[in-house]
């Protein structure tokens, strides 16, 4: 297939490379020249705009930050009109379910297919073509997107027959991920504050009942400067904000999520929002004065 790919960052770049490896022709666009160079080195083509990337393409994969960027790409920058009738938009954007429903409705009204298919797995999952897709949409959209998701992912879950359910599943997932990460930051920071070696805290947790995937994955990075972000602190500010907005709209209590959001807001407000999300520990470092980070 001829595929347009918009959003070639830490996850989007490896996802586009996986499509190329699977034999698809990929033309990409990103505001970062370095990202476009990496796409070319992997065998892809550089486009001068989102609209240009979609010209002659069968499908568009969207891997931008939020619903507003997705709307800009599709409508204001002409990507939707550049796709042929019946063309596919595979949206892996994390957004509120209502936004996925609205954008999906606009795409359907234009005569194209839309699959609401956010992902989990981070940069490592993208590099290993082992992402988890949480997807919802019509049978036709699933059929068109299946070869692309198979090329980029390991687990594909069908969450519903219309856009919105995939984004709801991603929101629930991010609730779990964000709360787990906030706990990981707190336990590593509290142990350090009480005089324990953070490396020893991590060693114990990794073989005990108090451990978790997040502690095992992010714990080692908490002891670094976190300047190479695979997922930034501000991503969880956004994603847990989506959780709280949905909870308020549905009159459902999420006290643990609300508390977790404060950790990421604290780290972001202290100036660390663009660092790796493991640096949620910076919130506690500022508050308690003890460094989890280790000297090189």
Please count the other Cβ atoms lying within 10 Å of the Cβ belonging to residue 102: 16
Torsion region of 240: left, alpha or beta (phi above 0 gives left; psi -120 to 50 gives alpha): alpha
- Judge if 141 and 204 occupy the same domain: no
Please count the other Cβ atoms lying within 10 Å of the Cβ belonging to residue 287: 12
Domain termination site, one of 98, 129, 163: 163
| 148: nearest Cα among 117, 120, 125 | 117
Cα–Cα distance between 12 and 125 in angstroms, integer? Answer: 11
Domain of residue 217, CATH code: 1.10.1040.10
Model pLDDT, residue 229? 75
The CA angle 25-83-89, to the nearest 5 degrees, is 75
Residue 232's DSSP bridge partners are 276
pLDDT digits (tens, 9 = 90+) for 55-88: 999 999 999 999 999 999 999 999 999 999 999 9
Domain termination site, one of 95, 130, 163: 163
- Judge if 172 and 122 occupy the same domain: no
Phi, psi of 155 (to 5 degrees): -125, 125
Q: Which domain holds residue 76?
A: 2-163
- Judge if 152 and 174 occupy the same domain: no
- Judge if 195 and 62 occupy the same domain: no
- Judge if 25 and 145 occupy the same domain: yes
Cα–Cα distance between 142 and 146 in angstroms, integer? Answer: 6
SS3 76: helix
Residues marked as catalytic = 170
Domain termination site, one of 118, 143, 163: 163
Model pLDDT, residue 115? 98
**pTM given for the model:** 0.93
pLDDT digits (tens, 9 = 90+) for 250-266: 999 999 999 999 999 99
pLDDT band at 296 (very low <50, low <70, confident <90, very high): low
- Judge if 93 and 226 occupy the same domain: no
Domain of residue 27, CATH code: 3.40.50.720
Asked if residue 295 has pLDDT above 80, the reply is: no
Model pLDDT, residue 228? 81
pLDDT digits (tens, 9 = 90+) for 198-234: 999 999 999 999 999 999 999 999 999 998 877 899 9
Cα–Cα distance between 161 and 267 in angstroms, integer? Answer: 38
Number of domains in the chain: 2
Q: Is 129 part of a structural domain of the chain?
A: yes
Tokens representing 71? Answer: 């709307």
- Judge if 33 and 158 occupy the same domain: yes
Q: Which whole number is the average pLDDT over 186-201?
A: 97
For the chain, the average pLDDT equals 96
């Amino acid at each position: 297939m001829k595929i347009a790919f918009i959003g070639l960052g830490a996850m989007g770049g490896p996802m586009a490379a996986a499509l190329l490896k699977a034999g698809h022709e990929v033309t990409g666009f990103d505001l970062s020249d370095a990202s476009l160079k990496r796409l070319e080195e992997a065998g892809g083509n550089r486009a001068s705009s989102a609209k240009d990337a979609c010209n002659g393409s069968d499908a568009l994969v969207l891997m931008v930050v939020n619903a507003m960027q997705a709307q800009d790409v599709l409508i204001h920058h002409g990507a939707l009109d550049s796709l042929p009738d019946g063309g596919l938009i595979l949206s892996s954007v994390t957004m509120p379910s209502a936004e996925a429903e609205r954008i999906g409705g606009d795409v359907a009204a234009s005569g194209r297919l839309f699959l609401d298919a956010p992902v989990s797995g981070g940069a490592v999952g993208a590099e290993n073509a082992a992402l988890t897709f949480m997807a919802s949409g019509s049978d036709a959209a699933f059929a068109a997107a299946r070869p692309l998701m198979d090329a980029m992912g390991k687990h594909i879950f069908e969450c519903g027959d219309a856009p919105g359910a995939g984004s709801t599943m991603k929101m629930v997932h991010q609730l779990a991920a964000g709360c787990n990460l906030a706990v990981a930051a707190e336990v590593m920071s509290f142990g350090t504050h009480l005089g324990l070696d953070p490396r020893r805290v991590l060693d114990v947790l990794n073989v005990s009942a108090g451990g978790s995937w997040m502690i095992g994955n992010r714990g080692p990075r908490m002891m670094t400067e976190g300047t190479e972000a695979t997922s930034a602190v501000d991503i969880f500010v956004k994603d847990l904000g989506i959780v709280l907005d949905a909870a308020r709209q549905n009159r459902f209590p999420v006290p643990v999520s609300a508390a977790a959001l404060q950790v990421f807001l604290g780290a972001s407000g202290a100036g660390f929002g663009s660092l790796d999300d493991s640096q949620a520990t910076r919130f506690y470092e500022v508050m308690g004065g003890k460094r989890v980070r280790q000297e090189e």
